[in-house]
């Protein structure tokens, strides 16, 4: 084992030892919500700065979570409750003796209160971007939901709604209703309403009141004006993920009450498992036991925190390692960019440098104008030290000293730590870092940076970045661009529109375009950076053809940067830039374009890039994500490209998709996803995402797909229909007609271990099919799904294995022994292509199949799943399981039991009438014949 790896392992052991010794409060800093002794600690609720101050909002949040805690405790059978909660008050609200924030920020919140609605009229909503059993990103509530008591008639109490959304967020379960498929044909060939449990009852209602089902459902379609209204009084106790608004509902569906046939997202995403089964398998439940006794847990305690003055300190490495690969120059360029363009007005900024010891270069200085920014730039380090030794702890301690000068503590401050060195004593300052209350964003510069550097970011909730030693990489500027104030006020934050870098040969040029859309344009700046000598020849054209040249830019020859500010609001449309390398040697040329929102009433389009986890081990892939939206609305049909840069080797580009297949869980939710597994080397990888939107196909999603609490339109109470007030119609679907837009965002860094040094055999199987669907047409079943690849979601697989069974348990637990469908004529297409395959399941109507104990063959359903195989016989996991009705003769078409009895009665009556009529006719015929015979006989006698 190399010396550095040994040192890293030793340091990690020290970190673990220290964490055990720390108080729970320090342990949870930056670690999100933690479960300890059955209680959740560290739940963070953040209010968006655009939300108006309302005196009832905070009391209602407290009341909601307090009710939720007791309801959750009972619903989980005395397992979990909320112990302490923090509410982050926006800085836009007036101060009211709130506590000072520490590491809390808007981006880290579990629950967000915001005014930007979705089309569902402000439904409580949870953003879930991963699969079944995986944590989501945020819960969203609107002020309208929290303040308007009339809405509780349709949603139920706010505490119950919170538990519904918490189950989405924490345990990765999904909704058990389906507005798109409100009914289905059951395995007993009856029409059923989509619900869970099936014991929840109600009736069909037409425009004029109650009506029989046959008036509502014709040719398997709901008629306009029809709906199914549930009784307000029920005996069923589940399920919270279906209709939390019912007073009788107090638990999640379990294996005995779960409706496996319902066509809902829970069944699709979790392979027909009940919500309680998924929850029971969570880490929370694996590490806790129900509380004994009958006593209730204590109510949650609430802390209200508010950010004070914004304080940022740059903590910059100047050891001799920074002289390598132009590291100092790239740091200077990025730091100047941050100070001149990114850091917000009125922020207090200080600068510290360090080698074997720390040095305060600039005490805190508040930014009020451009002169303040330029003054801070002048304090940036200009040279590197001769010392190779690096003391990261010394630099951070100096940084805390700078921050403490303002209010006596470093609470709520931000440290931007940049280093390329190694500190073997990094564990010596962990306790100081934890107790500082500061957030540390770490930037590892080059492959020599300390392997434990990211621990500071992880434990304080900071971001982490990696900058490779490549002259044409713009990763350093991208990292500084991503670091915002953490207030959640996107209207004030700078948005990155372009970031590119290229090695340009002598007398060649770098030419490209960048779109400035009409949602941005204020404070627009173009930054050009180069590697050696003087600036390139710059030509910049706006959409109207006006040109800006090199002499229009502000040149900083020492830092080798040129900057152009566009006065007022930049013209929307395509801007074209051309950089000519007029030198006799190759030049690394880089361009960065940033802007701010142009309208206070409308949020601009944003992109947030991130990865599933901090590190992975070969051959496990890394999930890459990009959340593209405008406010909360998902932006559809965007071209999203990820660029991943390893420590060495060339960057890898990867197109991300929002198609509900492969790594993407939900289609059209604005989260674009992809597997990344092209690991070139061990070590750190940097992620950047580009988003481009064409005006011809750009659309703004009119709804927020995924996980919402159901709003019930009305109830049947004592036989009377009582409808609730309809929700606000806040939906929208907009075509983007502004020339499209472009965005860039750094996604931070991640680490990969265990990559073989040389060539290795194929170890990447096809990805799992997650969007399998089945439709019965006459005697056949048609399957459709998105094609996986040879390796995960790339390339072209070799074959498919489709199996079916009349037993859900058989196909889920013993797929290999389910009945194999003949797929000899089915050849996989290129990954991402829609596959369609039709087959006839006659085998089930003629043959028999072994059933697990307790199961019968009375069901008219079949269950189907698929597995993909590559050319090296590596197999994917089994797909989601779908179900379809077997072919039933036309005389046995789906009807309700009541209708069936009526039909039988009518047929019986008609049969009896027919028999009576036949009897009368026959009798009449016989009597007539007998009369004729008698007359004939009498005539003979007379003759």
Two tokens, residue 876: 């994917």
Torsion of CA 62, 67, 69, 70, to 10 degrees: 150
Closest CA to 178 of 196, 160, 156, 190: 196
Two tokens, residue 654: 């990867």
Q: Give phi and psi for 576, each to the nearest 5.
A: -115, 130
Two tokens, residue 52: 């108006």
**342-368 exposure pattern, b = at least 16 Cβ within 10 A, e = fewer:** bbeeebbbbbbbbbeebebbbbbbebe
Contact 365, 350 (CB under 8 A): yes
**C-alpha–C-alpha distance, residues 673 and 788, integer Å:** 14
Q: Give phi and psi for 849, each to the nearest 5.
A: -140, 140
Question: The tokens 């007030």 sit on which residue?
Answer: 725
Two tokens, residue 356: 């074997």
Q: How many CA atoms lie within 13 A of 768 on its CB side?
A: 13
Question: The tokens 């709804």 sit on which residue?
Answer: 703
In terms of DSSP bridges, do strands 111-113 and 84-89 run parallel, antiparallel, or are they unpaired?
unpaired
The per-residue DSSP string of 576-644 comes to EEEEE--SSS-EEEEEEEEEEES-SSSPPEEEEEEESSSEEETTS-EEEEEEEEETTEEEES-EEEEEE
219 vs 215, 216, 222, CA distance in Å? 11, 10, 9
DSSP 320: G
Contact 321, 421 (CB under 8 A): yes
Which helix (H) or strand (E) segment is 802 a member of?
strand 799-805
Instruction: Tell how far CA 831 is from the center of its chain.
Output: 22
Q: Tell me the chain's radius of gyration from C-alpha atoms.
A: 33
The residues annotated as belonging to the active site are: 165
225 vs 124, 215, 594, 843, CA distance in Å? 26, 11, 50, 41
Two tokens, residue 97: 């003796």
Residue 152 CB coordination number (10 Å) = 15
Residue 727 CB coordination number (10 Å) = 18
3-state secondary structure 336-349: HHHHHHHCCCCCEE
Sequence-ordered strand ranges (E) for 434-536 = 439-445, 464-467, 495-504, 509-516, 520-529
Q: Burial level of 659, CB count in 10 A (0-12/13-18/19+)?
A: middle
Contact 823, 801 (CB under 8 A): yes
User: What residues contact residue 661 under an 8 Å CB cut-off, 6+ apart?
Assistant: 667, 769, 770, 771, 785, 786, 793, 832
User: What residues contact residue 536 under an 8 Å CB cut-off, 6+ apart?
Assistant: 504, 510, 528, 530, 550, 579, 580, 581, 582, 587, 589
Contact 559, 631 (CB under 8 A): no
**C-alpha–C-alpha distance, residues 753 and 622, integer Å:** 12
Q: In what order do the strands lie in the sheet with 561-565?
A: 495-504, 587-597, 520-529, 561-565, 554-556
In terms of DSSP bridges, do strands 520-529 and 561-565 run parallel, antiparallel, or are they unpaired?
antiparallel
Question: The tokens 């290795």 sit on which residue?
Answer: 760
């Amino acid at each position: 084992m190399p010396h550095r790896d040994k040192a890293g392992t030793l340091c990690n052991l020290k970190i673990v030892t220290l964490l055990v010794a720390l108080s729970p409060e320090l342990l949870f800093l930056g670690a999100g919500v933690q479960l300890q002794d059955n209680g959740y600690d560290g739940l963070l609720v953040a209010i968006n700065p655009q939300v108006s101050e309302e005196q009832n909002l905070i009391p209602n949040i407290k009341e909601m979570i307090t009710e939720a805690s007791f309801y959750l405790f009972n619903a989980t059978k005395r397992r979990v409750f909320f112990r302490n909660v923090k509410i982050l008050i926006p800085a836009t609200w007036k101060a009211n003796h709130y506590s000072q924030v520490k590491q809390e920020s808007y981006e880290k919140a579990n629950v967000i209160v915001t005014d930007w609605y979705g089309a569902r009229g402000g439904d409580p909503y949870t953003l879930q971007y991963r699969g079944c059993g995986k944590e989501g990103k945020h819960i969203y509530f609107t002020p309208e939901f929290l303040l308007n008591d009339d809405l509780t008639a349709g949603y139920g109490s706010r505490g119950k709604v919170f538990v519904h959304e918490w189950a989405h967020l924490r345990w990765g379960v999904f909704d058990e209703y389906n507005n798109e498929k409100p009914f289905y044909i059951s395995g007993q060939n009856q029409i059923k309403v989509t619900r869970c449990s099936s014991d929840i009852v109600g009736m069909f209602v037409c425009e004029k009141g109650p009506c029989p089902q046959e008036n509502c459902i014709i040719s398997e379609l709901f008629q306009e004006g029809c709906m199914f209204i549930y009784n307000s009084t029920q005996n069923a106790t589940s399920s919270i993920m279906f209709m939390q608004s019912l007073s009788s509902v107090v638990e999640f569906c379990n294996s005995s009450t779960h409706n496996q046939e319902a066509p809902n997202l829970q069944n699709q995403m979790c392979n027909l498992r009940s919500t309680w089964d998924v929850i029971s398998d969570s880490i929370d439940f694996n590490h806790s036991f129900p509380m004994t006794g009958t006593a209730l847990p204590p109510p949650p305690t609430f802390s209200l925190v508010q950010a004070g003055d914004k304080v940022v300190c740059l903590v910059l490495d100047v050891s001799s390692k920074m002289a390598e690969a132009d590291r100092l120059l790239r740091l200077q360029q990025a730091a100047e960019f941050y100070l001149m363009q990114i850091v917000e007005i009125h922020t207090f900024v200080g600068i510290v440098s360090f080698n074997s010891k720390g040095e305060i270069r600039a005490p805190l200085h508040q930014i009020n104008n451009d002169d303040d920014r330029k003054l801070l730039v002048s304090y940036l380090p200009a040279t590197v030290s001769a010392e190779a030794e690096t003391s990261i702890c010394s630099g951070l301690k100096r940084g805390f000293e700078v921050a403490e000068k303002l209010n006596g503590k470093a609470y709520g401050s931000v440290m931007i730590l940049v280093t390329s060195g190694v500190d073997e004593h990094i564990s010596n300052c962990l306790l100081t870092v934890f107790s500082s209350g500061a957030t540390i964003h770490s930037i590892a510069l080059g492959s020599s940076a300390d392997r434990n550097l990211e621990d500071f970011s992880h434990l304080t909730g900071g971001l982490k970045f990696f900058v490779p030693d490549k002259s044409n990489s713009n990763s350093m500027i991208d990292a500084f661009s991503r670091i915002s104030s953490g207030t959640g006020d996107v209207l004030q934050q700078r948005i990155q529109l372009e970031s590119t870098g290229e090695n340009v040969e002598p007398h060649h040029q770098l030419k490209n375009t960048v779109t400035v859309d009409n949602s941005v344009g204020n404070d627009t700046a173009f930054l050009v950076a180069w590697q050696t000598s003087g600036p390139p020849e710059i030509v910049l054209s706006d959409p109207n053809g006006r040109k800006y040249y090199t002499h229009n830019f502000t040149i900083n020859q020492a830092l080798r940067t040129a900057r152009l500010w566009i006065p007022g609001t930049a013209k929307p449309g395509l801007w074209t830039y051309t950089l000519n390398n007029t030198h006799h040697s190759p030049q690394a040329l880089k361009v960065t374009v940033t802007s701010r929102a142009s309208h206070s009433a409308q949020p601009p389009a944003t992109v947030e890039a991130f990865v599933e986890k901090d590190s992975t081990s070969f051959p496990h892939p890394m999930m890459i994500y990009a959340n593209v939206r405008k406010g909360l609305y998902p932006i559809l049909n965007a071209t999203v490209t990820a660029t991943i840069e390893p420590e060495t080797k060339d960057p890898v580009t990867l197109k991300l998709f929002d198609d509900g297949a492969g790594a993407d869980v939900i289609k059209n939710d604005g989260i674009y996803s992809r597997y990344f597994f092209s690991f070139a080397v061990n070590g750190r990888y940097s992620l950047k995402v580009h988003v481009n939107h064409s005006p011809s196909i750009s659309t703004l999603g009119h709804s927020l797909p995924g996980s919402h609490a159901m709003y019930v339109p009305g109830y049947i109470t004592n036989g009377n229909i009582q409808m609730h007030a309809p929700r606000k119609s806040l939906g929208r679907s907009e075509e983007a007609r502004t020339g499209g837009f472009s965005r860039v965002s750094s996604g931070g860094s991640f680490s990969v271990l265990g990559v073989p040094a040389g060539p290795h055999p194929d170890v990447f199987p096809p990805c799992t099919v997650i969007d399998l669907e089945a439709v019965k047409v006459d005697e056949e079943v048609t399957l459709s799904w998105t094609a996986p690849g040879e390796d995960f979601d790339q390339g072209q697989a070799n074959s498919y294995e489709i199996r079916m069974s009349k037993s859900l348990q058989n196909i889920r637990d013993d797929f290999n022994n389910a009945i194999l469908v003949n797929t000899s004529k089915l050849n996989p297409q290129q990954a991402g292509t829609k596959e369609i395959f039709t087959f006839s399941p006659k085998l089930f109507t003629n043959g028999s199949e072994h059933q697990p104990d307790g199961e019968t063959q009375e069901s008219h359903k079949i269950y189907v799943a698929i597995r993909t195989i590559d050319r090296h016989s590596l197999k994917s996991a089994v797909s989601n399981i779908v179900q379809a009705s077997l072919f039933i003769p036309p005389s046995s078409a789906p009807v309700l039991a009541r209708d069936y009895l009526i039909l039988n009665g009518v047929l019986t009556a008609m049969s009896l009438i027919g028999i009576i009529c036949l009897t009368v006719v026959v009798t009449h015929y016989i009597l007539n014949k007998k009369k004729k015979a008698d007359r004939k006989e009498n005539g003979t006698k007379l003759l």
